[in-house]
Amino acid sequence: MKVPSIIHIQLIALRRLVVETREQFCFAAKNMFQRIFGWIMSLSLFSWLYVNIQNLLIEVLSVGPVPEHVSFIMDGNRRYAKSRRLPVKKGHEAGGLTLLTLLYICKRLGVKCVSAYAFSIENFSRPKEEVDTLMNLFTVKLDEFAKRANDYKDRLYGSKIRIVGDRSLLSPEMRERIANVEDITKGGDDFTLYICFPYTSRNDMLHSIRDSVRDQLEDKLHSRINIKKFTNKMYMDFYSNKCELLIRTSGHRRLSDYMLWQVHENSTIEFSDTLWPNFSFFAMYLMILKWSFFCTIQRYNERNHSLFEKMYEGLPSILKRKKTPMSLYQFPNPPISVSITGEE
């Protein structure tokens, strides 16, 4: 039986109303929960408890190995603002605050370098209003970091900032501002922050190829280009060779043309479904704790001592399984050999 069109339209309208009502209810419930949680955390007792738990966890993790270079793909700022019905600018501001908070944590843990994917070259295709917002916010955060890095009372004191990427795509005013901030913080040796802005891995490799070829043509000795020389020509200098831990938020399982060279070997890539502004200390802590645990096992095994073999050797002889000798005739027949050149 065919449903009349007027009834069909009413059913569609009713379905949309139900969906919108459910979304509004979920938004209101989430907003109320965040307010309650914020009120609880504002109480002095809970605030003191949270800070002390955080300090204890940091002290525990600092005992073991920590990654030297941690990198973030800060994804989810726009969706964060949209989910809260806020301007896109507010989402990016919240993301900047999250990065600053995690920088403090990484520096306290003993991480030597943090890099962050702040702006891709392909982001220039976004609406001009959003690009301008990101540029202005980036300028403000540059000045803020430089101020903190030179304030001996701040925990980021002694830090150095480097802006890496294709600066030819930026305005002359922005390039001058970047050079000024880098010059102010160049004396920082304790901690290095690389802001990839604007950046892609393909552009990074192209930059390295151009510089390597140019130096090769100018070098009268004509020394050969090797992996080490090529790597050192990349934007991040010493830290171009590796990135022990790469974290991407917002649920996407891709690298988006970022750090392809740096994570090619012995790197851990972690994906989180959390939007970047909501990415908390505990989420990052668990990822670094996991990395530290497996790194400890790997380093132990690299000393030619298998952890399981060591545990097995410690067992009483009565519990060990006796090994029976194997005869040569018990081995399987070798596979049939085939010549790939066609010769007999």
Enumerate the active-site residues. Answer: 75, 123
Contacts of 108 (CB under 8 A, 6+ apart): 58, 62, 155
Give the pairing type, strands 268-271 and 245-248: parallel
Concatenate the DSSP letters of all residues of 88-147 into one string.
HHHHHHHHHHHHHHHHHHHHHHT--EEEEE--BGGGGGS-HHHHHHHHHHHHHHHHHHHH
- The residues facing 73 across adjacent strands are 117, 248
Question: Are 131 and 122 a contacting pair, CB within 8 Å?
Answer: no
In whole angstroms, what is the distance from residue 155 CA to residue 77 CA?
Answer: 26
Question: Are 77 and 98 a contacting pair, CB within 8 Å?
Answer: no
The CA–CA distances, whole Å, from 25 to 19, 30, 39 equal 10, 9, 21
Six-digit token string for 44: 């002095």
| CA-wise closest residue to 72 among 113, 27, 36 | 113
In whole angstroms, what is the distance from residue 261 CA to residue 37 CA?
Answer: 41
DSSP H helices, the chain, are 5-42, 44-63, 77-83, 88-109, 128-149, 172-184, 201-218, 227-232, 281-301, 307-313
In whole angstroms, what is the distance from residue 270 CA to residue 292 CA?
Answer: 14
